Amino acid sequence: MEELCNPANIVTPPWCPDESSMYDARTNSCFVAHDAAPQLSYYNDHDSYNRLIYGVIYPVLVAIVTATNSIVVAVLFANRNKTSTNFLLMMMTLSALVASLIPLPFTLWYFTLEHKLDWNQPLWLCYVHRFSMVVLPPTANIITTLMAVLLAAQRFIVVKYPLQSLQWCTKNTLYRAVLVCCAFPCMWTVFHAIEEKRTIHHSCELWSDEGTAQFRWRSTCVVGYTDVVHWIGIDNWINSLQLFRVGVFMVAPCLILLVLNVLLIHGIRSAKSLLQRQRHQRRQPSATSSRTTSTMLTVIISLFLLANVPTAITIVLLCIAFTLNLHDKWTIFPFLIQSLPICNLIVIATYPFNLAVYMLMSHQFRRTLLDLLRCRAQFGSAVTRDTSAMTIRGSRSTPRHGSTSSQLNNACHRFSCSKETQSLLRSSWMQRSRSESHTLSPLYCPITRRSHVGSIS
């Protein structure tokens, strides 16, 4: 039960005169916050809008993305021929899946389960919101964007410089490139994580329930900057960090993706026209397969680029507004704030379309997926069949063991076998009977039986 309070007895002390400070009469402390508003007040101010976005639409999209991306990862991982393209596609799919799942704990707790109506907010909720909604989602999205850039660059090298790609696009080189693409955003995340701190502020508010009204202490999350940010300067820190994010992790990757995508389309058209001019010659299947793969990857990169451009433009405009202190003058500023969640949902909604692109444009992907499903079905039926067979054999093994053992003793006694010979024959018979009673029937699995499984290369 919450403790009662009297607002008439709360007086701000003279040592807490700053306008950005918040005095906590319950703990008799003064906290320098961003402003006088609690951390999660924005969600309550736009209750129905955020409830629909984060509490209904977002969990459904995450469920769909989890199912489709898991299928893509399973198919790419099942290929025996681990090409560099398969590896990059799998890393891009995994990073997109992680980016979609990170905000889910907070949105489920706060919006879907409606804990936003709780009178008191615990401290752990403040930090869950900080990392699951503010810090980690941009990092995962940046890694996904860099993986898309790396995939487009790798495919451009394969199309434009096929011979040099054998030396430039080795697995070790791609592993190092992926490591750099993951480490670089994580370094930025460290600086972003130490920017702010969270605390609980207690305020005396009117609480009413079943006709009774009382003043009780209410705890809410508030946000403040750390000592490092105050030492460097709040404006200098925020502007430098956000401009670096916008310039290096958003604008530059989008421009690189746009240029590489145009070059890939031009390369695919050139290869197609070359094949049409050489109709009298024998068409090489490898060239046709490579061109089909390049077309499919170009479609995937184009979808990713189209989905991320609105988000990039919105974030760039918001950063300009905060940097130049235009958020109070721009009439479109509230619209930008409310449109950012919709832009993020658009990015998440495009991830399931990658599975559709794979299914429509890659025969090897469809064949591998069917092999996986067939293997699972045959494995289940084989286990059921062999379990019943083992049960039947087990019920008949005792009399067979007894009869065969007595026959073995009689034969040894008849032919005067030595003790060493008797021991050798008995151990050999035991091993044979054990293997017959416990050996499963051979399981046909296309993935394990085939010497080569088609891959997206």
Q: Quick check: 391 pLDDT over 60?
A: no
Residue percentage of the chain with pLDDT more than 70: 70
138-to-26, 131, 147, 322 alpha-carbon distances in Å = 36, 10, 14, 18
Read off the tokens for 272.
Answer: 């197609």
Which residues lie across from 208 on neighbouring strands? 213
Q: Pairing relation of β-strands 21-24 and 29-32?
A: antiparallel
Give residue 267's pLDDT.
77
195-to-34, 143, 190, 206 alpha-carbon distances in Å = 12, 21, 9, 33
Burial class (CB in 10 A: 0-12, 13-18, 19+), 220: buried
Q: What angle do CA 431, 437, 440 make, to 5 degrees?
A: 110
pLDDT tens digits, one per residue of 317-352: 888 887 777 766 667 778 888 888 899 999 999 999
| Whole-angstrom distance, CA of residue 362 vs CA of residue 305 | 21
Average pLDDT of the chain is 77
Q: What crossing angle do the helices spanning 363-414 and 333-361 adopt, rounded to 10°?
A: 50
Upper half-sphere CA count for residue 257 (Cβ side, 13 Å): 27
| Whole-angstrom distance, CA of residue 438 vs CA of residue 227 | 68
**Residues in Cβ contact with 125 at an 8 Å cutoff, skipping those fewer than 6 apart:** 106, 109, 110, 115, 221
| Whole-angstrom distance, CA of residue 135 vs CA of residue 283 | 52
Upper half-sphere CA count for residue 351 (Cβ side, 13 Å): 33
Confidence of residue 60 (pLDDT cuts 50, 70, 90): very high
Read off the tokens for 361.
Answer: 């444009």
Prediction pTM value: 0.76
Give residue 168's pLDDT.
85
Q: Which of 238, 245, 39, 242 lies closest to 129, judged by CA?
A: 39
Q: Which of 299, 189, 312, 339 lies closest to 252, judged by CA?
A: 312
pLDDT tens digits, one per residue of 116-151: 777 788 889 888 999 999 899 999 999 999 999 999
DSSP secondary structure letter of residue 30: E
Q: Quick check: 27 pLDDT over 60?
A: yes
Phi, psi of 206, rounded to the nearest 5 degrees: -80, 125
pLDDT tens digits, one per residue of 399-447: 444 445 555 565 555 445 555 555 655 666 565 555 444 433 333 343 3
Q: Quick check: 289 pLDDT over 80?
A: no
Confidence of residue 46 (pLDDT cuts 50, 70, 90): low
Q: Quick check: 32 pLDDT over 80?
A: no
Give residue 79's pLDDT.
72
Q: Quick check: 17 pLDDT over 70?
A: no
262-to-88, 251, 252, 266, 287 alpha-carbon distances in Å = 20, 17, 16, 6, 20
CATH class given for the domain over 18-371? mainly alpha
pLDDT tens digits, one per residue of 167-191: 888 888 999 999 999 999 999 999 9
Read off the tokens for 270.
Answer: 């050139």
| Whole-angstrom distance, CA of residue 181 vs CA of residue 275 | 36
| Whole-angstrom distance, CA of residue 207 vs CA of residue 214 | 5
Q: Which residue has the higher pLDDT, 49 or 210?
A: 49
Q: Which residue has the higher pLDDT, 403 or 85?
A: 85
Give residue 1's pLDDT.
52
Give residue 263's pLDDT.
87
Give residue 207's pLDDT.
79
| Whole-angstrom distance, CA of residue 365 vs CA of residue 372 | 11
| Whole-angstrom distance, CA of residue 122 vs CA of residue 109 | 12
